Chains A and B, each alone.
Chain A
């Protein structure tokens, strides 16, 4: 199988080795750049994108082991496949390279057929990893993707303080019944795009989308300076986005979309749930239930944004709120103070 052309970097202090590797790789159709030691290689990796690094171990200034250590610490570079090519002898060096994150080890002189096979396998693995990352990125935000990546997709949870938001489109089911299926999906896609922008723009993370409803978390997995304020400002922006969307020419004559948003703050249990194959970042706990109840209550209250007392208290005077009095929600024994938030 022929490899698709890739951008490869060869780091070797020996000129004959460098030129020979370059030649072999060019004959395989790849684009090749050269570095004469580890320090130069790291500089080049920081500057331009590469698909794979062929790394010598014994080099002056910075040797291959140090390069591997630097790469492992760098979030952007640690998934770069590295094939060590070395004439170092002894199993110790091979083991040390693999333990330091090298994908493979080829003894010198490098056999060109073996080289081609190993590069093909490494690039294919990288392609699959990139694809997986792209999937994660599409369904989570960059922050979650990086956190997932950093934690090595470890499942498990922790208790933390966060602000939870639920939002959905009022009467969407009725609207959808009157629309062509294609139109419904297109509408949902536009809607999600707008909501994603508003939520991500304020540091929130969308972790669930069900039909026309979504759940977002502010303050986890990464801490935010002001999760309550961020969530409320995101909600206000969501309302603005929906108002603008309703004014678009192709929405003329159609039922305007209205959304309801519920926000609650407090202790949640957050973590990745699922199996090794399929995991999602999620939050559970009373705070999550309360945010969902508040969202459901927006219709009865005739308000677009409802927040709980903890969120309202954190907002201070910066955002105008109106106390709606205590409400006893389904499944709760105690009444909860509910506040509405106006448009920005």
Chain B
């Protein structure tokens, strides 16, 4: 597992507290919900809606930290705190990077779920 993608200690603590079986289900829920949050970020950016943009980034940040996806969480946090950038191209680049990071997280979580 890529240590930079998922913090193994945080993930193990979550499994300890909530039960491994439950965490597997919760990962499934996250993998269902997260693409919607990413899409929401894109659509809020297109609509110029800073409030929706922040809220979607906030949700993604919160869930990333739950599973120990710290670097994805940090990227989402930056978007939450910054809000919409004055330059739309800057947000487009940031969202590309965020989606790429999410793809890695999703792959790592799927692997851990089957592991």
A19 contacts the other chain (CB 8 A) = yes
Binary flags per residue of A10-31, CB closer than 8 Å to B gives 1, else 0: 0001111101100110010000
B33 touches A108 (CB 8 A): no
Known: A20-B26, A24-B17. A88 touches B58 (CB 8 A): yes
Which chain A residues lie closer than 8 Å to B54 at the CB level?
58
Which chain A residues lie closer than 8 Å to B25 at the CB level?
19
**Which 4 pairs across A and B sit closest by C-beta, in order of nearness?**
A87-B62, A112-B17, A109-B66, A16-B63
A108 touches B17 (CB 8 A): no
A89 contacts the other chain (CB 8 A) = yes
B residues 1-41 with Cβ under 8 Å of A? 17-19, 22, 25-26, 29-30, 33
User: Would you give 8 A-B contacts (Cβ < 8 Å), ordered by A?
Assistant: A14-B59, A15-B33, A17-B62, A17-B63, A19-B26, A58-B58, A87-B58, A87-B61
- Cα-based distance from A178 to B29 in the complex (angstroms): 76
Minimum CB–CB distance from A302 to chain B (whole Å) comes to: 78
B93 contacts the other chain (CB 8 A) = no
A60 contacts the other chain (CB 8 A) = yes
Residue ranges of A at the interface with B (Cβ–Cβ < 8 Å): 13-17, 19-20, 23-24, 27, 58, 60, 87-89, 108-109, 112
Which chain A residues lie closer than 8 Å to B19 at the CB level?
23, 27
Known: A14-B63, A87-B65, A108-B65. A19 touches B58 (CB 8 A): no
How many A-B residue pairs have C-beta atoms within 8 angstroms? Tell me: 51
- Cα-based distance from A58 to B30 in the complex (angstroms): 18
Q: Which of A23, A58, A87, A108 contacts B22 (CB 8 A)?
A: A23
B89 contacts the other chain (CB 8 A) = no
- Cα-based distance from A72 to B3 in the complex (angstroms): 46
- Cα-based distance from A14 to B32 in the complex (angstroms): 12
Which chain A residues lie closer than 8 Å to B66 at the CB level?
16-17, 20, 108-109
Residue ranges of B at the interface with A (Cβ–Cβ < 8 Å): 17-19, 22, 25-26, 29-30, 33, 54-55, 58-59, 61-63, 65-66, 77, 81
- Cα-based distance from A58 to B33 in the complex (angstroms): 17
Considering residues A19, A20, A88, A108, which has the most beta carbons from chain B within 10 angstroms of its beta carbon? A20
- Cα-based distance from A27 to B23 in the complex (angstroms): 14
- Cα-based distance from A45 to B61 in the complex (angstroms): 29
B62 touches A24 (CB 8 A): no
B55 touches A60 (CB 8 A): yes
- Cα-based distance from A13 to B40 in the complex (angstroms): 14
Minimum CB–CB distance from A137 to chain B (whole Å) comes to: 40
A15 touches B17 (CB 8 A): no
Which chain B residues lie closer than 8 Å to A13 at the CB level?
59
Which chain B residues lie closer than 8 Å to A58 at the CB level?
54-55, 58-59
- Cα-based distance from A14 to B67 in the complex (angstroms): 14
- Cα-based distance from A108 to B25 in the complex (angstroms): 20
Which chain A residues lie closer than 8 Å to B18 at the CB level?
20, 23-24, 27, 112
- Cα-based distance from A73 to B33 in the complex (angstroms): 35
Q: Give the nearest-CB partner of B66 in chain A.
A: A109
